[in-house]
Chain A
Amino acid sequence: MALPKEVYKALKDIVGSENISDDPALLDSYRYSLAHTAIHLGPYYDTFTPRGAAVLLPGSTGEVQAIVRLCNEHKIKFKASSTFWSAQGYPSEDDTIQLDMRRMDRILEIDERNMFAVVEPGVIGATLQAEAMKVGLNTHIAGSGCSCSVLAGATSYFGSGPSNLYGGWHYENLLGAEWVMPTGDLFRIGSLGSGCGWFCGEGPGPSMRGIARGFLGAKGAMGVFTKCAIKLFAWPGPESLPVEGTVPAYRVSLPDNFRAYTVAFPSWKAWADAAYLIWDTGIGYLAHRQFNMFGRELKYAMVKILTDPSKTLGDLEELLEDPEVQRVTEASKRDFQIVLAGMTPRDLAWQERAFDEILARTAGWKVEAMNQPDVADWSLLYLLRLGHKNLNLVFGGSYDGCFGLLGTADYGTTHVEESGQLKKEWEEQGAVVQAGGDCTMGPIGGQGGGGTCLWENFTCFDPYERESVEGTRALFDAATKLGLARGWGVGMEKWNAQCRGPDGRTTPKEERDRIHLSAPQPSVFRYQHKIRRAFNPNDLGDAYYETLDDEAD
């Protein structure tokens, strides 16, 4: 249904005619295919998110407020997105107004001494990182990659990635924020509200940052964040990354105060012991397992391809027959990558000695083939910038994650083999792309300083082939079944299944209620319902903000 003419005109008056459209062709370019990386639902073949009623590109907080107020006046749903990462950045109901925040793309401030930056929604990780490095600072980049909005990860979704360990995840790094609430009112969170600057997100008194986001954000369903301050951390490297090489073998050679190691262990117990010792000792700048997304049986062969521009996927089978590749593959089954960064030469020397001691205590080893300069420099750039997310798609065309065992290192390592084995069995059945079995990946340190891991098992599939898409969904159903049977709970494969259904639209209320009532603590969703009622009285978001009303029982 088209917007009433007077509403469209009022919106046009706010943003200007060049920043609004209801052209069906353009609106269709703002739809998302659920056969692709839907995060974390489906996938669903030949299904798209609904077409919006109009797309607007606001240029200021004032314009956003005016739009939201107009939406309230006419009871029109709206959804803002900064970099549109996956289906959750798109509407789930018809006739929603879409706000594309890309025009608000300024880094407003980098406070070098106090180590934070103030950004608008359109600032991506790569841009902020490049600017921060000029003054000896770095920003955490979420697992979605450096082309995603910093603000979106910090305020509205999850924000975890390889640099959690030293840099903290975005949850921890979010400071003051400017939030156009679902009513159109402007809420300046933390010290900002008191007129004291951006440096603090908590208070005064009980921290109302708690309604902006919890473990997860509201995924665009509760108003629009227009600015936020993000904590930065030390970058002891050059003012810019000296990137070399030919696509996809980009690499970076850094000064001698950086090390990028791939290490492996004789057992998962030893792997976990090493993680705990790293956290207890306080070393490491980045740490991650299986960052290149290919499973344990393919990963080294794929590294050989990805670090050598003369090779293609056509070389894979031959590489897999190579005894050296087989030896390295076997030796690095239970591995992870770690980057050590010395703030001074002594700091690096101590970290190196401590790390060697940890390997000695856990009988771990450095995977020498991965630590050759070209490969190590490729890994280093990959982990520092997370600019290679396109590689997630090269093997099958699409991917999504299942299981997502979130907890301590002991918890994940106890179950990683069983979850990996299930996926391998499904790969062998044919529908799911054979991507090397155990693709379990995630940061070593789910939060600053470590303590937890998140074990997401990536699955590659062909989004243009119905059998592959539906086979992947069947695997995800099996993963859920196994997770429930084992007491792990529903995995990441269904994290958003209660928000959007197979038709690309909001999951029916009965199904949402059933899922929320089966949660360990349904009152979480009842309180979210009360918060939504208090701050979004016209309910102009979508079901990505998860609620359970009083009638549901």
Chain B
Amino acid sequence: MNAKKARLAEIVGPDHVIDDPGIGESFTLDRTVRPAKRPSFKVRPKTVEQVREIVLWANETLTPLVPVSSGAPHLRGDTLPSVPEAVIVDLAGMKRILKIDRRNRLALLEPGVTYSQLQPELQKEGLRVIMPLLPRANKSVIASLLEREPPMSPRYQWNLLEPLRSLEIVWGNGDRFYSGSGTFRGEREEDWQQGLVPVQGPGPGQLDFYKFVSAAQGSMGIVTWASVKCEVHPEFRKLFLVPGERLADLIDFTYRLLRFRFGDELFLVNDACLAYILAQDEDKAVSLRNSLPPWTAVVGITGGQVLPREKVQARQQDIQELAQQSGLTLASALRGCHEGELQALLLNASAEPYWKLRYKGGAQEIFFLSTLDRAAGYVATMQAAAGEQQYPISDIGIYVQPVHQGVGCHCEFILPFDRGSQAESVRTEALFRDASHRLFGQKAFFSRPYGIWADMVYGADERTKMVTQKVKDIFDPNHLLNPGKLCF
């Protein structure tokens, strides 16, 4: 038996070492843009001790590791090895919900826990976790939070990493570490009773350790549990749709809601994006796209712990007035979309196939952060680039998600394409490259730089690159965690 395989089998057991696992099916252009290398093995650890042993072994043998927590399809190329003979560390089997603490609204999760697994368990305790827009059913909660995917509810984001709190991390050097107040990891029930709980995200001390593993694509450390701040599961909630002819028509209204923190879920979508969310197949997507308004603001209102119905009523009236002041109307239904139908979708993970892939089987994303007042300019740039590349503008799904209580927003363009068509793949890739550079030139902040974006942002910001590399040298001195990504 291969010596590497034998040692890995000793660590995780022979049934949890998979030979030549391949690189899986690609639904995006990442493999075209950056060819992946076949990994040697995939290992499936079950405990932090096993993870630590794998990392220490990797340091002894200088074997690259690529951590993965979520199931396929992977859309951004971050889990595809960039170097040969890597070992995939598949954390999907670590799927215990270690604790749900109703009083402190905390959940302690392993990396394999998915949104579809977590939400029903939280609901039993009267809690929920704020979610990104329709995550894959097999999407790891921790991976989503670590990658700073924007939640639909900006009002709860006092900082950009919320609702992530304390972590247990195995750094690339093999050191096991607790960030935030993670030393209170709740191994003793009496600690939870006394309120000694992992509630803090920052620190400890004068470094902010959990920030080093955020948006790191698994290149700094492997997180083996995280505490997540939860919200009260509302007994009463409503969802409203606010149609607009142009994105600019909805911007002032959205700013007003953000100013007052009115609205729970709050985001903007164009007709194509909303159609992809609602439709189950290509034909339905096309017919919906043609019937929906060009733009829709989606506004959810939820009651809290006390007097929830009264709160929702007051909010509804206030939001209605704000909409009127902006010349807009709150609607429960649009042609082709009813709030009940949409709400049911938004409260759950995406049904299969994943919503971004339903229209054409493949999709390339372009996303970045900016401020809401610039969003319309990015849409114009994207549409101009699409026109030049002869990509159908009507196919572009656009999702604008306010973040960090409205200080910024996530702008996302979804470019569906037929993976079986060479011509569509080439055209979409050309648009992806061209638009990415144009948008960056227009002050789009590619804060999560996957694939080609990494060269773009680090090439333009040498100091951040140097600082990031120095920090990497400290926590992963042999550069074994997901080498070839970001600026490593």
Chain A interfacial positions (CB closer than 8 Å to B): 111, 113-116, 136, 168, 171-172, 175, 185-191, 193-197, 199-211, 213-219, 231, 233-234, 276-277, 279-282, 343-344, 346-347, 349-350, 353-354, 357-358, 361, 407-412, 414, 447-449, 451-452, 520-521, 523-525, 527-528, 530-531, 534-535, 545-546
Q: How far does the Cβ of A355 sit from chain B's closest Cβ, in whole Å?
A: 9
Q: How far does the Cβ of A360 sit from chain B's closest Cβ, in whole Å?
A: 10
Chain A residues with Cβ under 8 A from B454's Cβ?
A: 204-205
Chain A residues with Cβ under 8 A from B317's Cβ?
A: 346
Distance in angstroms between the alpha carbons of A281 and B235 in the assembled complex? 12
Q: Which residue of A lies closest to B443 (CB)?
A: A196
Q: Are B464 and A211 in contact (CB under 8 A)?
A: no
Q: Are A188 and B463 in contact (CB under 8 A)?
A: yes
Q: Other CB < 8 Å A-B pairs besides A191-B447, A208-B468, 7 of them? A: A114-B372, A168-B159, A194-B461, A206-B212, A210-B208, A524-B205, A531-B474
Q: Which residue of B lies closest to A273 (CB)?
A: B103
Distance in angstroms between the alpha carbons of A220 and B255 in the assembled complex? 37
Distance in angstroms between the alpha carbons of A411 and B197 in the assembled complex? 9
Q: Are B408 and A414 in contact (CB under 8 A)?
A: no
Kindly specify which of B240-248, B274-282, B307-315 makes contact with the partner chain. Answer: B307-315
Q: Is B216 in the interface zone, CB < 8 Å from A?
A: yes
Q: Are A343 and B195 in contact (CB under 8 A)?
A: no
Q: How far does the Cβ of B402 sit from chain A's closest Cβ, in whole Å?
A: 10
Q: Are A523 and B212 in contact (CB under 8 A)?
A: no
Chain A residues with Cβ under 8 A from B177's Cβ?
A: 521, 523
The listed residue with most A CB atoms (<10 A of its CB), out of B156, B193, B214, is: B214
Q: Are A113 and B206 in contact (CB under 8 A)?
A: no
Q: Are B204 and A410 in contact (CB under 8 A)?
A: no
Q: Are B208 and A214 in contact (CB under 8 A)?
A: yes
Q: Are A451 and B467 in contact (CB under 8 A)?
A: no
The number of residue pairs between A and B whose CB atoms lie closer than 8 Å in the complex comes to: 289
Given contacts A206-B471, A211-B471, contact A411 B196 (CB under 8 A): yes
Contact partner of A215 (CB less than 8 A), chosen from B156, B199, B205, B408, is: B205
Contact with A along B199-240 (1 / 0, CB 8 A): 110111111111111111101100000000100100000000
Q: Are B304 and A282 in contact (CB under 8 A)?
A: yes
Contact with A along B390-411 (1 / 0, CB 8 A): 0000000000000011111000
Chain B residues with Cβ under 8 A from A282's Cβ?
A: 304
Q: How far does the Cβ of B306 sit from chain A's closest Cβ, in whole Å?
A: 4
Given contacts A114-B407, A215-B202, contact A408 B195 (CB under 8 A): yes
Q: Is B118 in the interface zone, CB < 8 Å from A?
A: no
Contact partner of B445 (CB less than 8 A), chosen from A200, A208, A358, A545, is: A200
Q: How far does the Cβ of B89 sit from chain A's closest Cβ, in whole Å?
A: 18
Q: How far does the Cβ of A418 sit from chain B's closest Cβ, in whole Å?
A: 13
Distance in angstroms between the alpha carbons of A200 and B207 in the assembled complex? 18
Contact partner of B405 (CB less than 8 A), chosen from A190, A233, A534, is: A233
Distance in angstroms between the alpha carbons of A525 and B206 in the assembled complex? 9
Q: Is B413 in the interface zone, CB < 8 Å from A?
A: no
Q: Are A207 and B211 in contact (CB under 8 A)?
A: yes
Q: How far does the Cβ of A482 sit from chain B's closest Cβ, in whole Å?
A: 16
Contact partner of B215 (CB less than 8 A), chosen from A113, A199, A203, A277, is: A203
Q: Are A414 and B214 in contact (CB under 8 A)?
A: no
Q: Are B443 and A186 in contact (CB under 8 A)?
A: no
Chain A residues with Cβ under 8 A from B194's Cβ?
A: 410-411, 414
Chain B residues with Cβ under 8 A from A344's Cβ?
A: 260, 318, 321
Distance in angstroms between the alpha carbons of A357 and B303 in the assembled complex? 15
Residues 68 to 106 of chain B near chain A (Cβ within 8 Å): 103-105
Q: Are A202 and B447 in contact (CB under 8 A)?
A: yes
Provide a sorted-by-A list of 26 A–B residue pairs whose CB atoms are within 8 angstroms.
A111-B371, A172-B158, A188-B463, A190-B447, A197-B443, A200-B445, A202-B447, A204-B448, A205-B447, A206-B213, A206-B220, A210-B207, A211-B467, A215-B202, A215-B205, A277-B306, A353-B307, A357-B307, A407-B197, A408-B195, A411-B194, A452-B200, A521-B177, A531-B207, A534-B471, A545-B206
Q: Are B200 and A215 in contact (CB under 8 A)?
A: yes
Chain A residues with Cβ under 8 A from B310's Cβ?
A: 350, 353-354
Given contacts A202-B215, A206-B215, contact A216 B205 (CB under 8 A): yes
Distance in angstroms between the alpha carbons of A357 and B258 in the assembled complex? 27
Distance in angstroms between the alpha carbons of A524 and B193 in the assembled complex? 27
Chain B residues with Cβ under 8 A from A534's Cβ?
A: 470-471, 473-474
Q: Are A357 and B460 in contact (CB under 8 A)?
A: no
Distance in angstroms between the alpha carbons of A380 and B57 in the assembled complex? 60
Q: Are A343 and B260 in contact (CB under 8 A)?
A: yes
Chain B residues with Cβ under 8 A from A448's Cβ?
A: 158-159
Q: Are B202 and A171 in contact (CB under 8 A)?
A: yes
Q: Which residue of A lies closest to B310 (CB)?
A: A350
Contact partner of A199 (CB less than 8 A), chosen from B104, B371, B475, is: B371
Q: Is B140 in the interface zone, CB < 8 Å from A?
A: no
Q: Are A281 and B260 in contact (CB under 8 A)?
A: no
The 4 closest A-B pairs by CB, nearest first: A448-B158, A215-B203, A210-B211, A411-B195
Distance in angstroms between the alpha carbons of A214 and B467 in the assembled complex? 16
Chain A residues with Cβ under 8 A from B460's Cβ?
A: 194-195
Q: Are B306 and A358 in contact (CB under 8 A)?
A: yes
Chain B residues with Cβ under 8 A from A449's Cβ?
A: 156, 158, 229
Q: Are A409 and B448 in contact (CB under 8 A)?
A: no
Q: Is B115 in the interface zone, CB < 8 Å from A?
A: no
Q: Are B148 and A202 in contact (CB under 8 A)?
A: yes
Q: Is B34 in the interface zone, CB < 8 Å from A?
A: no
Q: Are B468 and A213 in contact (CB under 8 A)?
A: no
Residues 448 to 479 of chain B near chain A (Cβ within 8 Å): 448-449, 454, 457-458, 460-461, 463-464, 467-468, 470-471, 473-475
Q: How far does the Cβ of A363 sit from chain B's closest Cβ, in whole Å?
A: 15
Contact with A along B171-192 (1 / 0, CB 8 A): 0000101100101000000000
Distance in angstroms between the alpha carbons of A89 and B179 in the assembled complex? 27
Distance in angstroms between the alpha carbons of A218 and B321 in the assembled complex? 47
Q: Are B207 and A187 in contact (CB under 8 A)?
A: no
Chain B residues with Cβ under 8 A from A197's Cβ?
A: 371, 443, 445
Q: Is B291 in the interface zone, CB < 8 Å from A?
A: no
Q: Which residue of A lies closest to B368 (CB)?
A: A196
Q: Which residue of B lies closest to A217 (CB)?
A: B206
Q: Are B105 and A535 in contact (CB under 8 A)?
A: no
Q: Are A281 and B468 in contact (CB under 8 A)?
A: no
Chain B residues with Cβ under 8 A from A280's Cβ?
A: 105, 232, 304-306
The listed residue with most B CB atoms (<10 A of its CB), out of A203, A215, A233, A525, is: A203
Q: How far does the Cβ of B253 sit from chain A's closest Cβ, in whole Å?
A: 12
Given contacts A527-B474, A534-B473, contact A136 B207 (CB under 8 A): no
Residues 353 to 375 of chain B near chain A (Cβ within 8 Å): 369-373
Q: How far does the Cβ of A283 sit from chain B's closest Cβ, in whole Å?
A: 8
Distance in angstroms between the alpha carbons of A347 and B408 in the assembled complex? 25
Q: Are A196 and B445 in contact (CB under 8 A)?
A: yes
Contact with A along B283-324 (1 / 0, CB 8 A): 000000000000000000000111100110010011001000
Distance in angstroms between the alpha carbons of A190 and B148 in the assembled complex? 14
Q: Are A203 and B447 in contact (CB under 8 A)?
A: yes
Q: Is B145 in the interface zone, CB < 8 Å from A?
A: no
Distance in angstroms between the alpha carbons of A343 and B317 in the assembled complex? 13
